[in-house]
Amino acid sequence: MQKKTSVTIVKESGIFYGAVLIVAVVTGSVSHFLLAGLTWVGNFRDSHSYLLYLLPLLGVLTAYTYQNYGKNSDKGNNLIIESIQKEAEVPVRMGVFTFIFTLLSHLFGASVGREGSAVQIGGVISNKLGEYLKLTKKNRKLLIHAGISAGFSSIFGTPLAGAFFGMEMAYIGKIERNALLSCFTAAYIGNFTALAWGTTHSHHFISPTINVSPQFILIFLLASILFGLAGRLFAYLTHTLKRLYRQIFGNYLLRAVITALIVVVLMIVFQGQKYEGLSLWMMDDAFAGLATIPQALFKLLFTSLSLGAGFQGGEVTPLFDIGAALGSGIASTFQLSPSLFAAVGMICVFGCAANAPLTTIMLGIDLFGSKMIPFYVAGAFISYLVSGHQGIYTAQLIVRPKSLFLQHDKGYRLSELPQKGSIK
């Protein structure tokens, strides 16, 4: 009996890690083609500015498709989280829809990101493969964590952060340590696969000459607080717009037209066409000391409006833009070197909005090296605490509240907090 049990365990482990390998390779491959497609549509959009005027038509197409054929696909990353927490069904079409409509959203000028699609695709593949292989409930859950890691890692070229993101994404105040090996395996293989296809990622560098004075430390602490407030504002504004749009416009097609028109009109009025798509120029400008605080606020506004209108893509790259520009603007205001503030802002505004402080630190190491770890750690946890129980993923379960003042939120999901008087 013991021999049979041991053989069974080895067999199950072999099947499970074989599944992790498949998920990582497929997700890394899809990420490569998604990135290649985004580059192409971005270049095409930049040379055909009239496409922005067609954004309302895409809004209608997106709303109609998800409403009639989506089977809860419109929940996006929240559905992937629910598949971990309570085994919610994730349809295959979700991966197909998010790939297609992410490309279309970028083509027609919505201010959205790219990680949402990669994470959703990784989540879809792992869910369906786990069902097909009839994995145990525990292993299926771990495989979904691994799929998330593969998606995040391969889309950004950040395997260390991707591994931790897969363990942190579903909860606030908890890391799924049981998924450690599978998440690391999927993250590194997924990233390797994308690179093997020819994926390249842009790189930024922190200036090595930093004068750490009492004034510098004070300004850094202030900046970290502002990063937390920016992440909180982004999540609050995005969710509030979605809720208000549903309340005001009962007809979903009318809602799609009007909310997309709002994006188009405001972009024209404020000459915001440069904030279409990924707006990667913002990070380049931020590290060069050319980005400003108003640019960060405009990107925040246009991205919240685009996501609130239902366009696909994700939030992470826009959050990188917002954080980098905000950090650079703060540094320039006080005549400090912008690169460190841009780097810390870039990772922290994302990290606090995603409620993933360990991922934030690892992201800093992946992107900028380990020399500035004390700044990553300080910025990550200050912004995390300041952002409160607010976040871009409303399905996150609060396992360990961020402070003693928020203990009453323990055991609730972010989407449930309004029932207790909190703000969604």
Domain boundaries, the chain: 6-197, 214-412
The reported pLDDT for the residue numbered 424 is 37
The reported pLDDT for the residue numbered 117 is 87
Q: Tokens 């950004």: give the residue.
A: 156
- Beta-carbon neighbour count of residue 33 at 10 Å? 13
Fold of 6-197: Clc chloride channel (1.10.3080)
The reported pLDDT for the residue numbered 208 is 84
Q: Tokens 């990784």: give the residue.
A: 122
The reported pLDDT for the residue numbered 18 is 96
Contacts of 291 (CB under 8 A, 6+ apart): 282, 285, 324, 325, 328, 329, 338, 342
Three-state DSSP string of the chain:
CHHHHHHHHHHHHHHHHHHHHHHHHHHHHHHHHHHHHHHHHHHHHHCCHHHHHHHHHHHHHHHHHHHHHCCCHHHCHHHHHHHHHHCCCCCHHHHHHHHHHHHHHHHCCCCCCCHHHHHHHHHHHHHHHHHHCCCCHHHHHHHHHHHHHHHHHHHHCCHHHHHHHHHHCCEECCCCHHHHHHHHHHHHHHHHHHHHHCCCCCCCCCCCCCCCCHHHHHHHHHHHHHHHHHHHHHHHHHHHHHHHHHHHCCCHHHHHHHHHHHHHHHHHHCCCHHHCCCCCHHHHHHHCCCCCHHHHHHHHHHHHHHHHCCCCCCCHHHHHHHHHHHHHHHHHHCCCCHHHHHHHHHHHHHHHHHCCHHHHHHHHHHHHCCCCHHHHHHHHHHHHHHHCCCCCCCCCEECCCCCHHHHHHCCCEHHHHHHHCCCC
The reported pLDDT for the residue numbered 209 is 75
Q: Which CATH architecture has domain 214-412?
A: Orthogonal Bundle (1.10)
- Beta-carbon neighbour count of residue 317 at 10 Å? 26
The reported pLDDT for the residue numbered 298 is 98
The reported pLDDT for the residue numbered 102 is 96
The reported pLDDT for the residue numbered 418 is 67
The reported pLDDT for the residue numbered 168 is 97
Question: Tell me: the pLDDT tens digits for 197-235?
Answer: 999 999 999 988 788 899 999 999 999 999 999 999 999
The residues of the chain scoring below 50 in pLDDT are: 1-3, 419-424
The reported pLDDT for the residue numbered 87 is 87
Question: Tell me: the pLDDT tens digits for 228-267?
Answer: 999 999 999 999 999 999 999 999 999 999 999 999 999 9
The reported pLDDT for the residue numbered 409 is 94
Question: Tell me: the pLDDT tens digits for 290-336?
Answer: 999 999 999 999 999 999 999 999 899 999 999 999 999 999 999 99
Q: Tokens 């323990």: give the residue.
A: 410
Asked if 309 and 260 touch (Cβ cutoff 8 Å), the reply is yes
Domains 6-197 and 214-412 share a fold: yes
**Signed CA dihedral, 355, 284, 374, 326: sign only:** negative
